[in-house]
Structures are given as C-alpha cells and as structure tokens.
Amino acid sequence: MKLGAVFVDPRHRLDVVAGIVDGILNGLILAAGKLLSGTGASWMLIIKVGAATGFTTFFVFFVAHYAQARTDLVRAERELNLMKHGKLATTRLGQQVLTESLIGATIASFCGLLGAFAPLFLGMVLPPLLGITITFLLLGGLGVVLAHTFYGSSWLWGGAIMAGGALLTYVGLHLDIVG
Amino acid sequence: MKIRRLLFDVDKALARPSILEIAEAINNCSGVEAFHIAVQDVDTETLDLNVSIEGEDLQHDEIVSAIEHTGAVVHGLEQISAGNRTIEPLKRSR
C-alpha cells in the first residue's frame, strides 16, 4: 500500500480526523494566549507545540487502539470457547493487532502534528485573529467531512467542532500556557 | 502411517483471521497438495469452517499448529483417510 493511500483508507479515518482535530485543539489551547496577546508565534513555538502534540497523540492512540484490540481478542476467545485466556494474543493475531495499533498511532500522531502546525503557522504569517478564524473554519470543514462520511448533519457537526475550537481558544487565552 | 486426507472442524472469529490467511497457512504446510475450505455455519461472532485437505503424506500436527497460529481454532478432526491409497467411506447397510 502506498504511503498516501494509508491516509485515505477508511480503516484509518478515525486516526486521521481525530489526529488533526486533536492537533488543532492542542495548538489552540496551548498557544492561543501567545497568538492573541500580540507577540505571535515563532518557528520554535511551532516545533515545541507540534512535538508535544505528536508525542502525546501517539501515546494516547497507541494505548487506546491496543487496549481495544486486545479486548476484542478476549471477546473472540470467549466466543470460540477457548479455555485459556490470552491464547489468541500469542498467535499471529497478537502481532497483527500490535502492528495495526502502531500504524494507527503513527498516522494519528502525524496528523496531530499537522493539526497543531495549522493554527500556529497561520497565526504567524497572517494577522493572529485572521489566522485563528481560518483555523475555526478548518475545524468546521473537518466536521462537515466527518458528517458526510456517516450521513450526519453537516451544520451540526461543523458547528459543534467549531464551537469546541472557540471554547478551547477561550480557555487557552486565559490559561496562557506558553505565554 | 501415511495420512492422505483430513477433514477438520475449524472455528474462527468473524473479523479475523480471514479465510485467505488460513488458506495461506495450510498451503505452506509440508505434504499438502490440495485443500478446500467451506463455511459451514455463521454465528453472531464466529464462523464455522469445514477444512478438507489432501496430500500424499500429510503432517497432522503441523497443519493443526499452522491453522491455530493464524488465530483460528481447530475444534476437531472429523475424518481421516490413511494408507497406500485413498478409499471413499462406505455406507453402513443398517
């Protein structure tokens, strides 16, 4: 499978969308204070926030994916009437779920890094308020794409994710974490 | 004893392993010349498979281990044909 195809594979949709949204929200909550206070972002800030987002997203997604996959294996053991627990994890399925969890976490981490990059870069090259507004629109766009994939309401999903972004920006502005 | 034909009752979870993975594992076993996998029953979370295997000198333990290594479960050996040639099962008269 080509590298680009991994990102459009429906099996990794959650990792891609959640990774980007998580990255944008992380970027906003960590750096909103710095962006909107007037001092703006720097390349060093972008790298620091991007790295923090990338590592935490990798860890969180790996643990979540792997725990879910191992739980699925335990359920399958029960359905297959296996007496010994943990048996399926010693088969090829164990390696498979580990590899899949690592791939999913890597995709989410990369998307998280890109997501965190967006608001900070836009805030650096554009007037901060315009950069943040474009970031909100980006979040809304992601919500619309997400709604299309499961035939949900585009307005509801787009609006809800944008509202979440605005809320976290407000919180980030007051916390002023990297200020 | 030369085992020429085996019929296994194999169960697997619906999601994985795929039947192709099981087929690949059987194909890699020594002595296997041909085999057939058929879905016997579909449950809410499991799939019951009939796996028929033919060859000149099948290695029972190797095949069971290969199938189970994919994550499927061999529930039983249903039929075995062995000897210098394969005979078809005879029907009982009563």
Q: What number is the ipTM of this complex?
A: 0.73
Q: Which of A79, A81, A88 sits opposite B71 (nearest CB)?
A: A88
Closest-CA residue to A25 (of A59, A66, A57, A69): A57
- Spell out the SS3 assignment of chain B: CCEEEEEEEEEEECCCCCHHHHHHHHHCCCCEEEEEEEEEEECCCEEEEEEEEEECCCCHHHHHHHHHHCCCEEEEEEEEEECCCCCCCCCCCC
Amino acid A178: pLDDT: 78
Q: Which pLDDT value is given to residue A150?
A: 84
More confident residue, B36 or A3: B36
Closest residue of chain A to B15, computed from CA coordinates? A76
Q: Do A82 and B11 touch (CB under 8 A)?
A: no
Closest chain B residue to the Cα of A77, Cα to Cα:
B13
Tell me the C-alpha distance between A37 and A65, whole Å: 38
pLDDT digits (tens, 9 = 90+) for B47-78: 999 999 999 999 999 999 999 999 999 999 99
Instruction: Number of A to B CB contacts under 8 A, please give it.
Output: 35
| Contacts B46 to A, Cβ<8 Å | 76, 79-80
State the pLDDT at residue A1: 62
Per CB-CB distance under 8 Å, the chain B contacts of A100 are none
pLDDT of A68? 94
Instruction: Please give chain A's pLDDT, 179 residues, in tens.
Output: 677 777 778 888 889 989 999 999 999 999 888 888 767 788 998 999 999 999 999 999 999 999 999 999 998 888 888 877 888 888 899 999 999 999 999 999 999 999 999 999 998 888 888 989 999 999 999 999 889 888 999 999 999 999 999 999 999 888 888 76
Residue of B nearest to A83 (CA): B73
